[in-house]
Chain A
Amino acid sequence: MRNDVFGLIYTGESSMQLRDLTYSRSVAAVPFAGRYRCIDFVLSNLVNTGISNVGIVAQKNYHSLMDHLGSGKEWELHRKHDGLFILPPFVTRDNTGIYRGTIDAYHSVMGYIRRSSQKYIILVGSHTIYSTTYDDMLKKHIESGAAITLMYNEVGKHHPDDQFNELRFALEDDGRITDIQLNPNNPATCYSFCDTAIMEKTTFEHLIEDAYSRGETDFIRDVLLKKVNEIPMYGWRYDGYVGCLSSLSSYFNHNMNVLKREVRDDLFNPAHPIYTKTKDEVPARYVGDAKVKNSLVADGCVIEGEVENCVLFRGTHVGKGSKLKNCVVLQACHIEEDCELNYAILDKGCTIRSGRKLAGYDSFPIIIRKGSVI
């Protein structure tokens, strides 16, 4: 257990890029890899670091997030001392309840931050998926004398198709960040921010109060970018798998990547397991003429048809004669008989009636909104 650090997860990211998946839920609550929600990864990372005080800044569409988190007992955050704090917006004399940006959001939870007794804060977003502990990053932060340590990984230099709040760092040999670009059209470096920062709590308080007093709104644009040469910021390189859900096709691709053994072994390392809300579903059953290849299948599924290159979430039913290829099928979908689906993402609880055919393309998977009947 670590008594010197607490976690703050921001879940109010703009979610337009995930289209219908975030129609009624925040990015944090978007289902991922068969049985998880995005937030399970960063939350488990914090817990696996031994952190027992975690605040979650909720902003909009947070009902399904609260339903998922409950008292935090699945993450062992139902504690007498500290534990899980869900921090939804509220209206006071100083607060409108509607945040103009991250600065507003952090400012409105300043009470929680002040009350937290830990020295360091780990600030994470919720649309980036990776599985690790923060021990090494904390060590590096303390040793380097950085005011802020930012986690990054190495990505391609070319302009990404689906850039979304992407930060690129220019680094010196010792890891000191000399320049930061936000959504560059022509990135100068391959080092991309992983939505994770460590600093002393007092530094964070000061930066937020200062920015708020100047009417600034965005922590990345108004604090990180502006102060990169003013205060020492260091990068901490992470070489594990990082999935940034910056678009629907990246959502699709990162789900599909879980089919690769090296990605699975990296994300689901028994040394730091990913915790999630359990549903007590029965094991998946293969009946009749089921044919399944290269797929991830969650508990509660009943498969009677053919499934290839798919991720099936809990409680999916694939009827006789149906053929699913390259699909991500969220919880409790019912695919009746003789359907054909290719490159489709089915949100929770969809029903595909017998004989229906749907197809997208690898660069443009189609998305079926939650609860649709086709």
Chain B
Amino acid sequence: MVRKKVVAMLLAGGQGSRLSVLTNRVAKPAVPFGGKYRIIDFPLSNCVNSDIDTVGVLTQYEPLELNAYIGTGQAWDLDRNSGGVFVLPPYQSSQAGRWYSGTADAIYQNIAFIDRYNPEYVLILSGDHIYKMDYAAMLDAHIAKKADLTIAVRPVPMEEAHRFGIMNTDADERIIEFEEKPKQPKSNKASMGIYIFSWPVLRKYLCLDEENPESSNDFGKNVIPAILNDGLGVYAYAFDAYWKDVGTVQSLWEANMDLISEDPEIQLDDPAWRIYSKSPCMPPHCVGVDAVIERSSITEGCYVGGTVKHSVLFAGVTVEDGAEVLDSVIMPGASILSGAKVHRAIIGENSVVGKDAFVGAERLPEDGDYDTSLTDDITLIASGTEIAAGSRVPVGMIVNTGVYGAIEDEEE
């Protein structure tokens, strides 16, 4: 086996329950983002653009969609003779078989995978952020400092620092203290959950961590504090470009809207740093004779006959003549039929909003009580849902799979 300098391990495990029905049947990294991407395209493209060609994707929640999406890795040029992209689910061995109990345990259970490539360094990533980052530059810093561990950090507003894992550093960027959600933060350098370890160091501490029955097998809680306690060289690497967590309905909506803002903070059309994704093989989108489109992002396979303002349309979306889409994110294959309105909503894959239906309608007293703790003012329609013709879905409501509003119609 050809030796690899660095192997990336992408922690894609979590269900992402704060994304509500969007992760009904898919793991968070496979959630669509930005018109033609899925969240995982960002870390994968960053890897490829940083010359990292061996990536393990660790997942244990609803892997089908993610597996099917990654395929051979061809879309990211990761179909390699040596290396490439691998989906690594939990497995049974002769001793035992168990789920990944924590982030560190997920890597521990795949030590054999990393050992195959005998790398000098291991890059740990998570699959729930939108950002463009040159991991090669971070690796250069790691090597220059002769570090055992380098942690990517970004500045957050001091008044919000108490919500993050905060790194306190000396003048040389060496981390002297790590505080998880400190009440009195001493710095504003928040961990991004991106780590570069020298592989022998990580390997040793993963094994130590596994032997400790008290440990919850988590990088932030157990492994990194242990390395710091032992006085190893742990350095911060500052990153100060666009970085957005898309772990909640609101933040996913916002990050999509960031792409169509007047002066976007993140440019995806940089030829030197392309974001790759799997092509759906559809023709360019078509705009109808009476269409009105303002400040929007529209991609292949779409048809727009009606009005689309300040919205992101994914591949194969239909907005029929006379339909209206405002401030919304319409995921692949969804249809908005004629006369329907969609305001400030996320419409899941292949859902249909029936004729003259209104998604995101003003909340009325007769709508009764419903939970908006996950959605706030974003109305959310799960994938594969049908909103019956003429029905109303009030602001912030979550509609789960099935048919919505049909029974009410019959009563009328």
Binding site for B on A (CB under 8 A): 33-36, 73, 258-259, 264, 267-268, 273-276, 278, 280-288, 290-300, 311-314
CB–CB A293/B289 < 8 A: yes
19 contacts between A and B (CB under 8 A): A34-B283, A34-B284, A35-B300, A267-B283, A268-B283, A274-B281, A280-B275, A282-B35, A282-B297, A285-B297, A286-B293, A286-B294, A286-B295, A288-B295, A295-B286, A295-B287, A300-B269, A313-B284, A314-B284
Q: Say yes or no for B158: interface residue by CB 8 A criterion.
A: no
Across-interface contacts of B287 in A (CB, < 8 A): 292-297
Given the interface pairs A34-B284, A282-B35, the reply to whether A290 lies near B293 with Cβ below 8 Å is yes
Given the interface pairs A282-B35, A283-B34, the reply to whether A33 lies near B283 with Cβ below 8 Å is yes
CB–CB B293/A292 < 8 A: yes
The docked-state distance in angstroms from the alpha carbon of A73 to that of B293 is 35
List which B247-297 residues lie within 8 A (CB) of chain A.
Answer: 260, 262, 268-269, 274-277, 279, 281-297
The docked-state distance in angstroms from the alpha carbon of A267 to that of B184 is 64
* Inter-chain pairs besides A282-B268, A286-B295, A293-B291, 4 sampled, C-beta below 8 Å: A268-B282, A281-B269, A282-B275, A297-B298
The docked-state distance in angstroms from the alpha carbon of A314 to that of B271 is 13
Given the interface pairs A73-B74, A299-B299, the reply to whether A294 lies near B289 with Cβ below 8 Å is yes
Given the interface pairs A34-B283, A264-B283, A275-B281, the reply to whether A293 lies near B298 with Cβ below 8 Å is no
The secondary structure that dominates the B interface is loop
Most B CB within 10 A of own CB, among A258, A273, A278, A286: A286
Q: Say yes or no for B36: interface residue by CB 8 A criterion.
A: yes
The docked-state distance in angstroms from the alpha carbon of A292 to that of B308 is 11
- Kindly provide the distance from the CB of A311 to the nearest chain B CB, expressed in whole angstroms: 8
CB–CB B284/A280 < 8 A: no
Given the interface pairs A285-B260, A292-B287, A297-B287, the reply to whether A273 lies near B299 with Cβ below 8 Å is no
CB–CB B284/A296 < 8 A: yes
Among B274, B275, B292, B300, the residue within 8 A (CB) of A299 is: B300
- Kindly provide the distance from the CB of B208 to the nearest chain A CB, expressed in whole angstroms: 42
Across-interface contacts of B276 in A (CB, < 8 A): 280
The docked-state distance in angstroms from the alpha carbon of A21 to that of B364 is 60
Which bucket holds chain B's interface residue count?
Answer: 35 or more
Across-interface contacts of A267 in B (CB, < 8 A): 283
The docked-state distance in angstroms from the alpha carbon of A282 to that of B285 is 13
Across-interface contacts of B260 in A (CB, < 8 A): 285, 287
- Kindly provide the distance from the CB of B313 to the nearest chain A CB, expressed in whole angstroms: 8
The docked-state distance in angstroms from the alpha carbon of A285 to that of B294 is 9
Residue of B nearest to A285 (CB): B297
The docked-state distance in angstroms from the alpha carbon of A264 to that of B285 is 10
CB–CB A283/B36 < 8 A: yes
Across-interface contacts of A299 in B (CB, < 8 A): 36, 284, 299-300
Across-interface contacts of B299 in A (CB, < 8 A): 283-284, 299
Across-interface contacts of A311 in B (CB, < 8 A): 284
Across-interface contacts of A294 in B (CB, < 8 A): 287-289
CB–CB A35/B284 < 8 A: yes
Residue of A nearest to B297 (CB): A283
Across-interface contacts of B297 in A (CB, < 8 A): 282-286
Residue of A nearest to B315 (CB): A283
CB–CB B274/A280 < 8 A: yes
Across-interface contacts of A282 in B (CB, < 8 A): 35-36, 268-269, 275, 297
Most B CB within 10 A of own CB, among A258, A268, A287, A299: A299
Across-interface contacts of B268 in A (CB, < 8 A): 282
The docked-state distance in angstroms from the alpha carbon of A34 to that of B286 is 10
The docked-state distance in angstroms from the alpha carbon of A46 to that of B260 is 40
The docked-state distance in angstroms from the alpha carbon of A35 to that of B286 is 13
Across-interface contacts of B313 in A (CB, < 8 A): 283
The docked-state distance in angstroms from the alpha carbon of A273 to that of B289 is 25
- Kindly provide the distance from the CB of A318 to the nearest chain B CB, expressed in whole angstroms: 13
Among B34, B283, B286, B294, the residue within 8 A (CB) of A290 is: B294
- Kindly provide the distance from the CB of A283 to the nearest chain B CB, expressed in whole angstroms: 4
Residue of B nearest to A303 (CB): B293
CB–CB B34/A264 < 8 A: no
CB–CB A259/B286 < 8 A: yes
List which B286-331 residues lie within 8 A (CB) of chain A.
Answer: 286-300, 312-313
Most B CB within 10 A of own CB, among A273, A276, A297: A297
The docked-state distance in angstroms from the alpha carbon of A290 to that of B304 is 14
Across-interface contacts of A264 in B (CB, < 8 A): 283, 286
